Amino acid sequence: MPKNYNISVIKGDGIGVEIVDQAIKVLGAVGKKFDINFDYKEYLMGGCAIDATGNPLPQETIDGVLNSDACLFGAIGGPKWDNLDRELRPESGLLRFRKEMGVFANLRPATVYDELVDASSLKPEVIKGVDIMVVRELIGGIYFGEPKGKTETKGWNTMVYTVEEIERIAHVAFKLAMKRDKRVCSIDKANVLDVSQLWRDTTERIAKEYPEVELTHMYVDNCAMQLIANPRQFDVILTGNIFGDILSDEASMLSGSIGLLPSASTGLKTAVYEPIHGSAPDIAGLGIANPIATIASASMMLRYSLDEEDAADAIDAAIKKTMADGYRTGDLAAYDCKEQVNCTQMGDIIASNI
Ligand code: NAD
């Protein structure tokens, strides 16, 4: 009997549709090989949901995702909806979605494929072998803190973290480090911010439960420099919401293309797997988007939500082989490219390499 998983799918806007279709294709290939069946149910979110229902995050989507084993997500947003009131915009739906799902931990690997060391803006000798996991707190901090507000002459937001919020994200980082190189670097601004001092004190206390893991601390401004100067020094980076937002985008550029990098958002109720990039309106509909970030997100879904390690390894190996064979979408066509392919072809090749 094949194992069966219920997967909620949110394709979203722009390139979301085409990249998620490729991930589903690759999951089909891996399902055949490992006797796994995926039942997909599609839900609306973002601009397409606004067009269809007037609401960027319909209740049906929240319920459907909460009732699934995991959610595969594309991207949302686009210029068509940019002029709506902030509360009605696709991005507000995304923030509310993360909160509703309780996904407090955002995992973003930043790894560099050997074949693509030239794609990075840094020197090959600086980035070769980089393998970083950024663990970002996702539903607290300044993006959600109260009070917040704006008048004609003043605007304000509040960075708040409770001990419980810091503890649970710290545990995620330490547990991941145990499976990796056993090093956590916690990022804060404890020289200026009280909330960061609490962050530092709490991570120190949690570290005592993981004696094999080395904990270091770094100020966020220094970390921004160190990621460029010597990225190989990092194993797991543990950070709050806004610092993680910025640092994980910076870390992602080490690999050369935003189209390569997956993410997992896990937490209290379910988990959401998505590429780190947005809906790329500038190339939407052209069929040239790089689907690898989304396919790698499907691999993370197998690994972290479904416990299908072998199937996840098979996807990662198929992506690596495709890179090594020299197939590239347009974003990476300048680097060691033997054949330039479009989004669908890239999905076909990775699926056939499973
Ligand atoms: P973006 O990530 O969509 O695009 C930035 C640049 O990277 C563009 O030039 C784009 O063509 C390129 N790019 C992105 N993904 C690619 C891929 N898979 N293959 C090849 N090239 C790729 O960021 P943006 O332009 O700042 O935002 C566009 C829209 O996406 C906005 O509405 C934004 O709010 C939204 N957004 C959504 C999410 C999400 O759904 N999680 C995340 C970020 C941005």
Write the pLDDT tens digit of every residue in 260-290: 989 999 987 889 999 989 999 999 999 999 9
Q: Ligand 1 centre from 178 Cα, in Å? A: 33
Q: Ligand 1 centre from 88 Cα, in Å? A: 19
The residues near 13 (Cβ < 8 Å, ≥ 6 apart) are 46, 47, 48, 74, 75, 76, 77, 78, 90, 279, 281, 284
Give the chain's domains with CATH numbers. Answer: 1-107+258-354 (3.40.718.10), 121-255 (3.40.718.10)
Q: Is the predicted pLDDT of residue 242 greater than 90, yes or no?
A: yes
Q: Looking at ligand 1, which residue's alpha carbon is closest to its atom 42?
A: 278
Give 119 or 49, the one with higher predicted confidence.
49
Confidence class of residue 99 from pLDDT cuts 50, 70 and 90?
A: confident
Looking at residue 127, what is its pLDDT? 92
98-112, 132-146, 178-192, 305-319, range with the lowest pLDDT: 98-112
* Token pair 């206390």: residue: 205
Q: Return the DSSP state at 271.
A: E
Q: Looking at ligand 1, which residue's alpha carbon is closest to its atom 38?
A: 278
Q: Ligand 1 centre from 16 Cα, in Å? A: 10
Instruction: Determine the average pLDDT of the residues in 92-110.
Output: 88
Q: Ligand 1 centre from 171 Cα, in Å? A: 31
Looking at residue 11, what is its pLDDT? 98
SS3 assignment, position 239:
strand
String of DSSP letters for 185-213: EEEE-TTT-HHHHHHHHHHHHHHTT-TTS
Catalytic residue check, 189: yes
Say if residues 98 and 65 touch (Cβ distance below 8 Å).
Answer: no
124-128, 142-146, 235-239, 248-252, range with the lowest pLDDT: 248-252
Q: Is the predicted pLDDT of residue 67 greater than 90, yes or no?
A: yes
Q: Ligand 1 centre from 298 Cα, in Å? A: 19
**Nearest-atom index, ligand 1, CA of 77:** 32
Distance CA 321, CA 154 (A): 54
Looking at residue 2, what is its pLDDT? 84
Say if residues 247 and 220 touch (Cβ distance below 8 Å).
Answer: yes
Distance CA 223, CA 100 (A): 31
**Residue 207 backbone phi and psi in degrees, to 5:** -60, -30
Question: What are the Cα distances from residue 177, in Å, to 173, 182, 184, 214?
Answer: 6, 4, 7, 9
In percent, the amount of the chain with pLDDT more than 70 equals 100
CA 86 to chain centre: 23
Which secondary structure element, helix H or strand E, spans residue 233, and what is its range? none
- Ligand 1, from 277, 283, 292, 331: best to mutate by most atoms within 8 Å of Cβ? 277
Q: Looking at ligand 1, which residue's alpha carbon is closest to its atom 27?
A: 278
Q: Kindly state the tokens that stand for 64.
A: 């459907």
Q: Is the predicted pLDDT of residue 23 greater than 90, yes or no?
A: yes
Looking at residue 335, what is its pLDDT? 87
Q: Looking at ligand 1, which residue's alpha carbon is closest to its atom 36?
A: 278
Say if residues 13 and 274 touch (Cβ distance below 8 Å).
Answer: no
Catalytic residue, chosen from 35, 39, 51, 221, is 221
Question: What are the Cα distances from residue 195, in Å, to 19, 89, 95, 188?
Answer: 39, 30, 22, 9
Catalytic residue check, 313: no
Instruction: Determine the average pLDDT of the residues in 131-157.
Output: 95
Instruction: Determine the average pLDDT of the residues in 13-20.
Output: 97
Residue count of the chain, please give it: 354
Distance CA 262, CA 323 (A): 16
Looking at residue 339, what is its pLDDT? 96
Looking at residue 296, what is its pLDDT? 97
Pocket of ligand 1 (CB under 6 A): 15, 19, 75-78, 91, 94, 258-259, 274, 277-283, 289-290, 293, 331
Catalytic residue, chosen from 5, 43, 113, 143, is 143
Confidence class of residue 252 from pLDDT cuts 50, 70 and 90?
A: confident
Q: Report H helices in the chain.
A: 16-34, 47-53, 59-66, 90-101, 124-127, 163-178, 194-207, 220-229, 241-252, 292-304, 309-324, 343-352
pLDDT tens column, 210-240: 999 999 999 999 999 999 999 999 999 999 9
Furthest CA-CA distance within the chain: 65
**Cβ count within 10 A of residue 268:** 11
On the question of a cis peptide bond just before residue 56, with omega within 30 degrees of 0, the verdict is: no
**Nearest-atom index, ligand 1, CA of 46:** 40
Looking at residue 175, what is its pLDDT? 93
Q: Is the predicted pLDDT of residue 256 greater than 80, yes or no?
A: no
Instruction: Determine the average pLDDT of the residues in 158-173.
Output: 97
Catalytic residue check, 99: no
Catalytic residue check, 39: no
- Ligand 1, from 249, 279, 319: best to mutate by most atoms within 8 Å of Cβ? 279
Catalytic residue check, 245: yes
Q: Is the predicted pLDDT of residue 310 greater than 90, yes or no?
A: yes
The residues near 63 (Cβ < 8 Å, ≥ 6 apart) are none
Q: Ligand 1 centre from 90 Cα, in Å? A: 13
Q: Looking at ligand 1, which residue's alpha carbon is closest to its atom 16?
A: 259
Catalytic residue, chosen from 21, 249, 313, 316, is 249
Looking at residue 108, what is its pLDDT? 92
* Model confidence, pTM: 0.90
Q: Ligand 1 centre from 21 Cα, in Å? A: 17
Closest-CA residue to 78 (of 61, 107, 56, 109): 56
Closest-CA residue to 175 (of 131, 220, 135): 135
pLDDT tens column, 171-190: 999 999 998 999 999 999 99
